[in-house]
Amino acid sequence: MTEDFIPSPSIDSHSMPMEVQIPLLESSSNVKDSNNTNTRKSSTKKTSFSSNDEKISDPLIILSSQNESKISNMSNKLFAVNQLETLAFYQALFSEFFGTMLLVLICSSIGLSITSQSIPAMHGAITSGLTVATIIVGFGHTSGAHINPAVTITFLVACEIDFLRALCYIGMQLLGAICGSSLVRLIIPQHAQGNLGMTIITEGISISQACMIEFIITFVLCYTVHAICDKRRDDIGGSKALAVGLAVIIGCLFGGPYTGGSMNPARSFGPATVMNSWQNHWVYWFGPLTGSIASAVVYTYILKHHQPHGHVQ
């Protein structure tokens, strides 16, 4: 964790992801400052009336206090426990739950044939991309609209979200995915339910090939998210939400014939849970998560943007 750790802002066209966390960290930093001030005051009081023998142990007391302060600061950066006391945190969790539920409801049902007419692959890809873009615009200001464990993990690796919020986000995303698939079973007629839109590896595609496909398309998606969320860049115009939606469309068109083009463990987890079908399900976790981690490492650390020499912010 770096000392200038700040969660990134929402990925809609106006702000950047996780903007809702900034006041939370500011409030926690105020608490830390007050604690440090109280510590200094109490230390001053002790030294003001201590004897010569007591003064010998003062450096040890000060060193212990500094170590405790560093541990407390690191703990707050990693977990930001103070956010549990705010309404905004729970609004963000509900946003992730509801957004993921809508995503799975729409994207998993779009390929189910209600009528006798077949549904073109392009239809599902475009719908998925536009659905993601719409959800980002609608929920981005509240939670950042991750609606995808892979996106949450890529922000965690890039140190743009704390551990506590990341774990809670993923939990709510999975719960939303299950509810979304349950709604598909409730809404879609019995004859058209099929496998509830599960993502399945195409016959003839090996496990390693499926993992590589999911790795690649999730890498592209998460790398795009990092690019549009980079506050240091002013060269990206247009709708940032639509940019993410286009990355989803590309992933669906490229990866769809091989694995169904998931890019989202929650998207695959919902139907698998409702159908209780887990064959090769781990592929839809391993591929996307490794792709999201790789995108964070490449964009944030390997191809990190450096300010020109002598530039003053």
Any idea which residue has 């003839």 for tokens? 204
Classify each residue of 194-204 as buried b or exposed e, where b means 16 or more C-beta atoms within 10 Å of its C-beta. Answer: eebbbbbbeee
DSSP at 307: P
Long-range contacts of 85-88 (CB under 8 A, 24+ apart): 86/24, 86/27, 88/20, 88/23, 88/24, 88/142
* Secondary structure class of 278 (helix, strand, coil): coil
Give the pLDDT confidence score for residue 68 in this predicted structure: 63
Query: 140 is written with which tokens?
Result: 């981005």
Tally helices (H) and strands (E) across the chain.
11, 0
Give the pLDDT confidence score for residue 36 in this predicted structure: 52
Q: What is the mean pLDDT of each run of 10 residues along the chain (313 residues)?
A: 44 41 40 50 45 52 63 68 91 97 94 76 91 96 96 95 95 97 92 89 96 98 94 86 96 95 96 94 97 96 68 47
Give the pLDDT confidence score for residue 24 in this predicted structure: 37
- Cβ burial of 205 (10 Å; 0-12, 13-18, 19+) is middle
Give the pLDDT confidence score for residue 47 in this predicted structure: 44
Any idea which residue has 């010998």 for tokens? 56
Give the pLDDT confidence score for residue 13 in this predicted structure: 36
Most distant pair of Cα atoms in the chain: their distance: 93
Contacts of 15 (CB under 8 A, 6+ apart): 9, 140, 141
Give the pLDDT confidence score for residue 194 in this predicted structure: 85
d(CA 106, CA 124): 10
Structural contact between residues 83 and 29, judged by C-beta atoms closer than 8 angstroms? no
d(CA 268, CA 7): 28
Give the pLDDT confidence score for residue 74 in this predicted structure: 63
Give the pLDDT confidence score for residue 15 in this predicted structure: 41
Q: How far is CA 115 from CA 112, 119, 189, 216, 264, in A?
A: 9, 10, 10, 34, 28
